[in-house]
Amino acid sequence: MTLGLVAGLAGLALLDSTSIGTLFIPIWLMLTPGRLRLSGFAVYLGTITVFYFAVGVLIVLGASQVVDHLDGRVASWIQLVIGVFLFAVSFRFDGKKKSDTEKWQNRINANGSAAALAGIAVLAGVVELATMLPYLGAIGMMSAADLSGGQIGLLLAGYCLVMIVPAVLLLGGRLALRSRIEPFLTRISTWFAEKGASTTGWILGIAGFLVARDAVARLFFV
């Protein structure tokens, strides 16, 4: 396990932290009218974190079976292709397209119980499976790095925790500053509703660069 790998994974995790499920739904929970329910917030974040970790473990188990039958350089070339693909796909996201935020906000406002919030967390995770390309890139980096099962599990857990750090920090600000931070949270929510598609494109582009850079480093500089 190298410092470069850990730094690359941390960067991808921070990119993943800006998704609807890990950042914007938590923001909308903070903006829900009435008293902020910490228990519901904790249930939501805990559920989506465990969901991402479980999905990661399942993908790693499958990826490890493939990597075990590949030469190390072949696996690195595959990772490079994935990185270039992510970067290319990023240009297909239309910055003028509006995000479907109203649907998620209605779900949150209509369902306030802990069980409902856990269900929303799982639903958000399932919906994002199709666009969790930074996470897939990170798993590819772990699988190609010749790590033990324990190391991969530790990295996956750390990755999933880093993903919720911005939401936790904003929650701390919400508790400390109360209504004074609400205009800031509202501006973030509005900005995402208008620029969400463009943001996704940038995230995929940066993720593709990080994944490809890691592969190039192992192919040509190790």
Domain residue limits at 92: 3-31+40-216
Determine, yes or no, domain membership for 222: no
Per-residue confidence (pLDDT) for residue 168, from 0 to 100: 94
- The number of domains in the chain is 1
Residue 221 in domain: no
Report pLDDT for 37. 79
At residue 45, the pLDDT reads 92
Q: Give domain status of residue 78, yes or no.
A: yes
Domain assignment of residue 59, yes or no = yes
Task: Give domain status of residue 88, yes or no.
Answer: yes
Residue 129 within any structural domain of the chain: yes
Residue 100 belongs to a domain: yes
Q: In the prediction, which pLDDT does 196 show?
A: 57
List of residues 6+ apart from 15 with CB closer than 8 A: 134, 203, 206, 207
Q: Note whether 154 and 142 are within 8 A (CB).
A: no
Query: How high is the pLDDT of residue 165?
Result: 93
Contact, 202 vs 132, CB < 8 A?
Answer: no
Q: What is the pLDDT of residue 210?
A: 76
**The pLDDT of residue 213:** 78
Residues of the chain with pLDDT under 70: 1, 34, 63-72, 75, 89-112, 127, 129-131, 193-204, 222
Claim: this prediction has a pTM higher than 0.75: no
Token pair listed for 133: 């390309």
pLDDT of residue 108: 63
Condensed to tens digits (0 to 9), the pLDDT of residues 152-186 reads: 889 999 999 999 999 999 999 988 887 788 888 88
Mention every residue, 6+ apart, whose C-beta is less than 8 A from residue 210.
Answer: 8, 11, 12, 83, 137
Per DSSP, 99 falls in state P
How far is residue 84's CA from residue 17's CA, in Å, rounded to a whole number?
Answer: 22
| Phi, psi angle pair for 84, to nearest 5° | -65, -40
Residue at 85 is within a domain: yes
